[in-house]
């Protein structure tokens, strides 16, 4: 396909056009100060026993001995049929929101993306799934795949979700969005 051929990113060029976005700090602050989750429930508190607990605000693992919240999160602005809500982890005490500048190397992804693969899925500017855009993607191909998807006019942003449990991890935007 022509699109694929022309949009295949080169190190240091195409990669710079996209950025990872964590949960907005306002959402995290709401939860840290006792606010209810997307289902109107109080977040549950647990103690991490090590790996496998990705915080959706700092996009780092919640290390053994750190407390964290489990809660229902809806990473969409409003209720509508495609506004999937699901479980996420969040540090219990305030952490610093992930900043795109933390990616030192062009091909690097946030620390929490440590599994072999993830679902990448495109959404429209009305927050609907763009059918055909979703695919399990090897972690090493996330930057390339996201760049391809965000080159399309019908895709406004991309969700990164776990490949096995479909849990929301973070979002990928065009830089400057």
The residue ranges that bind Zn ion (CB under 5 A) are 55, 57-58, 91, 95
For residue 42, the tally of other CB atoms under 10 A from its CB is: 12
Quote the least distance from Cβ 41 to Zn ion, whole Å: 20
Quote the least distance from Cβ 55 to Zn ion, whole Å: 3
35 vs 140 by CB, closer to Zn ion = 35
31 vs 143 by CB, closer to Zn ion = 31
Quote the least distance from Cβ 91 to Zn ion, whole Å: 4
57 vs 145 by CB, closer to Zn ion = 57
15 vs 68 by CB, closer to Zn ion = 68
Quote the least distance from Cβ 102 to Zn ion, whole Å: 13
């Amino acid at each position: 396909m022509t699109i694929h051929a022309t949009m295949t990113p080169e190190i240091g060029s195409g990669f710079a056009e996209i950025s990872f976005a964590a949960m907005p700090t306002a959402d995290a602050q709401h939860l840290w100060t006792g606010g209810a989750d997307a289902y109107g429930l109080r977040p549950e508190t647990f103690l991490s026993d090590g790996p496998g607990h990705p915080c959706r605000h700092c996009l780092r693992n919640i290390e053994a001995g750190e407390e964290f919240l489990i809660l229902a999160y809806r990473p969409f602005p409003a209720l509508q049929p495609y506004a999937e809500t699901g479980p996420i982890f969040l540090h219990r005490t305030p952490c610093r929101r992930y900043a795109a500048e933390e990616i030192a190397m062009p091909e690097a992804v946030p620390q929490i993306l440590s599994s072999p693969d993830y679902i990448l899925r495109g959404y429209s500017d009305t927050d609907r799934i763009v059918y055909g855009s979703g695919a399990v993607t090897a972690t090493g191909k996330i930057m390339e795949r996201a760049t391809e998807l965000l080159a399309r006019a019908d895709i406004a942003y991309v969700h990164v979700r776990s490949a096995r449990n479909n849990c929301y991890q973070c979002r990928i935007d065009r830089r400057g969005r």
